[in-house]
């Protein structure tokens, strides 16, 4: 395969295929994990990502998938750098992403500033309670709906 | 007594805080599947993972600062007990659930002001790691504090055990606030924080929770120190034996 210099937007479009392995309805762009894409004059592509939680085990896989997705498009000179600052926040998640989360059955994060009521992603009832602050992944809490009785995950505001 | 250090003060400083998180992560991981309820098992696994992530970032950065070919895995799996510079508190064994939660609480109450201070570090990488870690530490503190109050203000037996946990662990808490020359240098350079400055916020958090939990503040005892210079309690060696044996027996093994 031949490496060709690409525009950052082209590279970004390719990276739209890369999804969060824990929440496959969201791309890394939706999540706000993808921070920057630059293409140097010599064609070297630099992708900058930031972790959601310090111990997120998906980060290594995401890094591999970025490299694989670009390689499949003929771009094989790639570095993936991880930056910590500024720290990732759920405020970077787009409204489109939050709606996709809800449709997937995960209550999306509210504002980090206020105490938004958590609505059940199935029946939209506000009558919900926290079962545990820690759920199936670092970013989620375990909730239950008092109205429809269904348990569900909530993406925690951070 | 000589402190075992690498040649670079920043690396040594990063490794200290990395070791605190690595050792506590391993202690919590040992407990997974033993928690009193499924939700707590998940919580402990999540908290362990957060600590492990912080440890990984700090040790990887320390390794790059050292620049002599060691990576985060080498630092975690190929150093001996005398080369670990974690606080004694985090290596204390999982005697019972009260000890685990009180240990966590005492450490969380320290980590929150620590990361808040280090988020303003002149070293931007350390500041970034700290700014992320502080968000997680606040979650951890809320969780461990809830348990301390629930257990302390619970049954006669849970109250007794929680008080016992505080009494047993109290002598290991003073070490968090004892600085040495490296701490002074790092604070002077704007990279680190003077550990003594963390004691007041820590005490406030701890004493409030002790009161809410209907417990008594433990009596002051001789402060046990040594972790930062590699002098540990017997518990650490056993823990590292378990944690490191695979890499020791099969160097470089991956899965």
pLDDT digits (tens, 9 = 90+) for A28-54: 989 889 999 999 988 899 999 998 888
Instruction: Supply the ipTM of this predicted assembly.
Output: 0.81
What is the share, in percent, of chain B residues with pLDDT greater than 70?
Answer: 97
Query: Which residues of chain A have a CB within 8 Å of the CB of B56?
Result: 54-55
Total of domains in chain B = 1
Residue B68 tokens read as: 């002599």
Q: Is residue B78 part of a domain?
A: yes
pLDDT, position B225 = 96
Residue B55 tokens read as: 């440890």
pLDDT, position A57 = 80
pLDDT, position B185 = 96
**Strongest mean pLDDT among A24-28, A98-102, B159-163:** B159-163
Domain hosting B113: range is 9-249
> What number is the average pLDDT over the span B216-234?
95
**Is the link from the previous residue into A86 a cis peptide, with omega within 30 of 0?**
yes
* Statement: residue B198 has pLDDT above 90: yes
Residue B70 tokens read as: 């060691």
pLDDT, position A4 = 55
pLDDT, position B193 = 98
Reported as a pLDDT band with limits 50, 70 and 90, residue A62 is very high
Reported as a pLDDT band with limits 50, 70 and 90, residue B3 is very low
Q: Is residue B1 part of a domain?
A: no
State the smallest CA–CA distance between residue A102 and chain B in angstroms: 23
Question: Measured between CB atoms, which of A54, A57, A133 is closest to B57?
Answer: A54
Q: Is residue B197 part of a domain?
A: yes
Q: Is A134 on the interface with B (CB under 8 A)?
A: yes
Minimal CA–CA distance to A87: which of A35, A23, A150? Answer: A35
Q: Is residue B227 part of a domain?
A: yes
Residue A17 tokens read as: 């295929």
Minimal CA–CA distance to A91: which of A151, A26, A156? Answer: A156
pLDDT, position B4 = 46
pLDDT, position B7 = 52
* Statement: residue B89 has pLDDT above 70: yes
> What number is the average pLDDT over the span B87-111?
98
pLDDT, position A55 = 82
pLDDT, position A5 = 53
* Statement: residue B2 has pLDDT above 50: no
Query: Which residues of chain B have a CB within 8 Å of the CB of A138?
Result: 46, 49-50
Lowest model confidence (mean pLDDT) among A81-95, B157-171, B191-205: A81-95
> What number is the average pLDDT over the span B185-197?
97
> What number is the average pLDDT over the span A72-98?
90
In chain B, the residue whose alpha carbon lies closest to the alpha carbon of A135 is: B42
pLDDT in tens, A87-145: 889 999 989 899 999 999 999 998 877 677 899 999 999 999 999 888 888 888 999 99
How far is C-alpha B70 from the geometric centre of its chain's CA atoms? 23
State the smallest CA–CA distance between residue B220 and chain A in angstroms: 34
- Residues with Cβ within 8 Å of A112's Cβ and at least 6 positions away in sequence, in order, are A89, A90, A91, A157, A158
Phi-psi region at A153: left, alpha or beta (left = phi > 0; alpha = psi -120 to 50): beta
Q: Is residue B46 part of a domain?
A: yes
Q: How many CB pairs under 8 A join A and B?
A: 71
The CA distance from B207 to B134, in Å, is 21
What is the share, in percent, of chain B residues with pLDDT greater than 90?
Answer: 92
The CA distance from A141 to A119, in Å, is 13
Q: Is residue B243 part of a domain?
A: yes
Phi-psi region at A141: left, alpha or beta (left = phi > 0; alpha = psi -120 to 50): beta
* Residue B235, domain CATH: 1.20.1260.10
The answer to whether the CB atoms of A85 and B57 lie below 8 A apart is no
Backbone CA torsion sign across B75, B243, B174, B46: positive
Q: Is residue B163 part of a domain?
A: yes
What is the secondary structure of A74-98 as a DSSP string?
A: T---EEEEE--SSPP-GGGS-HHHH
pLDDT, position B1 = 40
Q: Is residue B20 part of a domain?
A: yes
């Amino acid at each position: 395969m031949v490496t060709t210099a690409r525009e950052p937007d082209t590279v970004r479009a390719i990276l739209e295929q890369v999804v969060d392995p824990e929440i496959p309805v969201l791309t890394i762009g939706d999540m706000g994990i993808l921070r920057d894409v630059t293409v140097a004059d010599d064609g070297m592509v630099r992708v900058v990502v930031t972790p959601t939680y310090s111990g997120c085990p998906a980060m290594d896989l995401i890094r591999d998938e970025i490299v694989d997705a670009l390689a499949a498009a003929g771009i094989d000179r790639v570095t993936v750098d991880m930056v910590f600052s500024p720290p990732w926040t759920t405020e970077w998640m787009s409204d489109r992403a939050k709606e996709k989360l809800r449709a997937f059955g995960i209550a999306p994060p509210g504002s980090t500033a206020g105490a938004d009521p958590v609505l059940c992603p199935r029946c939209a009832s506000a009558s919900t309670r926290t079962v545990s602050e820690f759920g199936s992944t670092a970013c989620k809490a375990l909730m239950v709906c008092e109205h429809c009785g269904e348990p569900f995950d909530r993406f925690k505001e951070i | 007594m000589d402190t075992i250090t690498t040649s670079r003060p920043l690396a040594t400083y990063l490794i200290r805080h990395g070791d605190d998180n690595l050792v506590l992560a391993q202690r919590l991981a040992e407990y997974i599947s033993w928690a009193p309820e499924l939700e707590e098992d998940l919580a402990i696994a999540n908290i362990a993972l957060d600590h492990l992530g912080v440890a990984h970032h700090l040790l990887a950065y320390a390794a790059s600062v050292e620049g002599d070919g060691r990576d985060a895995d080498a630092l975690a799996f190929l150093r001996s007990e005398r080369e670990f510079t974690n606080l004694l508190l985090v290596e204390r064994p999982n005697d019972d659930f009260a000890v685990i939660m009180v240990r966590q609480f005492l450490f969380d109450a320290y980590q929150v002001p620590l990361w808040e201070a280090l988020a303003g570090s002149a070293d931007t990488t350390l500041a970034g790691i700290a700014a992320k870690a502080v968000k997680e530490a606040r979650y951890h503190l809320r969780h461990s504090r809830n348990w301390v109050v629930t257990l302390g203000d619970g049954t006669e037996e849970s109250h007794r055990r929680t008080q016992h946990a505080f009494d047993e662990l109290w002598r290991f808490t003073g070490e968090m606030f004892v600085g040495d020359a490296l701490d002074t240098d790092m604070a002077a350079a704007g990279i680190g924080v003077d550990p003594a400055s963390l004691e007041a916020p820590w005490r406030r958090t701890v004493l409030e929770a002790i009161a809410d939990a209907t417990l008594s503040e433990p009596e002051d005892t001789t402060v046990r120190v040594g972790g930062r210079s590699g002098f540990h309690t017997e518990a650490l060696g056993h823990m590292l034996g378990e944690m490191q044996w695979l890499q020791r027996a099969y160097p470089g093994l991956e899965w």
